[in-house]
Amino acid sequence: MTSTAPAHCPDLGTALAAWFTATARPLPWRSPDRTAWGVLVSEVMSQQTPVARVAPIWLDWMDRWPTPQAFAQAPTAEVLRAWGSLGYPRRALRLQECARVIVDQYGGEVPADEQALLALPGIGTYTAAAVMAFAFGRRSVVVDTNVRRVLARTVGGEALPSPSLTAAEMSRAAALVPADDASAALWAASSMELGAVVCTARAPRCDDCPVTALCAWRAAGYPADPHAARRRSQAWAGTDRQVRGKVMGALRAAHGPVPSAVIDLVWPDATQLSRCIAGLVEDGLIAQTGEAYHLPVEVG
C-alpha cells in the first residue's frame, strides 16, 4: 500500500455521491419498497456471481418467499432448484438456516444490529455490513472486491489491492466512511457501484470515471499491479466445481430420483465423479436412496 488515507475524503465522497445518484443501475433490491430480507438475500446470492445472473433469480425467489417465515418453511429440494446456477448451492442451505434463526430468535424480522447479523448462519463481515448500509441505511464499513479495488486505485495509487484483505485496508476503508448514517450508506453504495461498472479489474473505463481527477493511480501514471505474480485464477473446465455443478444440474432437472447409472454418465472420470458425489452428500445437497440420487426431501 503506497499511501495512507486521510481521516475523510469529502471531495471523493461528494463526486461519487453525485455520480451514483444520477447513474445507479436500477437493481431490483434497490427499489424503494425493498425489504431487509430482500437485501440480505441479494447479498448472499451475489457472492462471486454477476448481478445480471442474480437479478432474475432474486425476483423469482422473492415472489416465492418474500419473508424469512416463508423461506424457512420451503422444501429443501425446491430451494435448491430455485438456486439454479448461482454458484455452490451450500449457500442456499445456509440462507435457509439463517431464515429459521431469524424466525425463531427475531420474530421473523431481520435484525438491524451488525453483531446480531454476524451471529446468523452464513453471514460474514461483508454481508452484515452491507445489510446495515443497504437495508437499514446505517453507517458501516462495507468492503467487497469492488470497494477494495476502488480504494487501492483512488487512494492507494495501486492497480489492484493485495490478493488477500489486510488489516491496513480495513483501517483505510473505515477512515473514509462518512460519520453520519445517510452519507455513509451512500458512500458504500457508490464506491461499490464504481468498482462494478467503471473501475473494473481488467478494463477500467478511466475516461468515464467521475473521480479521475482525484485518482492516485492515475496521478502516478497507472503503475502495474505489484501483486501480479501472486494472482492465480483457477480454470473452470475439469475442476470439481464443474463436476458438482453437472451433478446438481442433472438432479435439479429431474422430477424424481435419478439412477446412479445415469449420474455416472455426467462425467468421464469415475474417481473424480465419486469424490464430488460424496462431497455433495456430505454437504446435504443431494441424497441417495438405493441405487438412485435425488435432491433432499426435507421440508422446513
Q: Where are the domains of the chain?
A: 10-24+140-230, 35-134, 240-294
Give 222-248 pLDDT, tens digit per residue: 999 877 766 666 677 889 989 999 999
The stretch 70-75 carries a mean pLDDT of: 96
Q: Give the CATH fold of the 240-294 domain.
A: Arc Repressor Mutant, subunit A (1.10.10)
Amino acid at 43: E
∠234-238-240 over CA atoms, to 5°?
80
pTM for the model stands at: 0.87
Q: Which residue has the cell 447409472?
A: 261
The catalytic residue among 43, 114, 169, 193 is 43
Quick: pLDDT tens for 196-207: 999 999 999 999
Asked about 43 being catalytic, the answer comes back as yes
Query: CATH number of the domain at 10-24+140-230, out of 2.30.31.10, 1.10.1670.10, 1.20.120.1200, 3.40.50.300?
Result: 1.10.1670.10
* Those residues with Cβ within 8 angstroms of residue 284's Cβ, 6 or more apart along the chain or in another chain: 93, 296
Topology of the domain covering 35-134: Endonuclease III; domain 1 (1.10.340)
Q: Which pLDDT value is given to residue 238?
A: 87
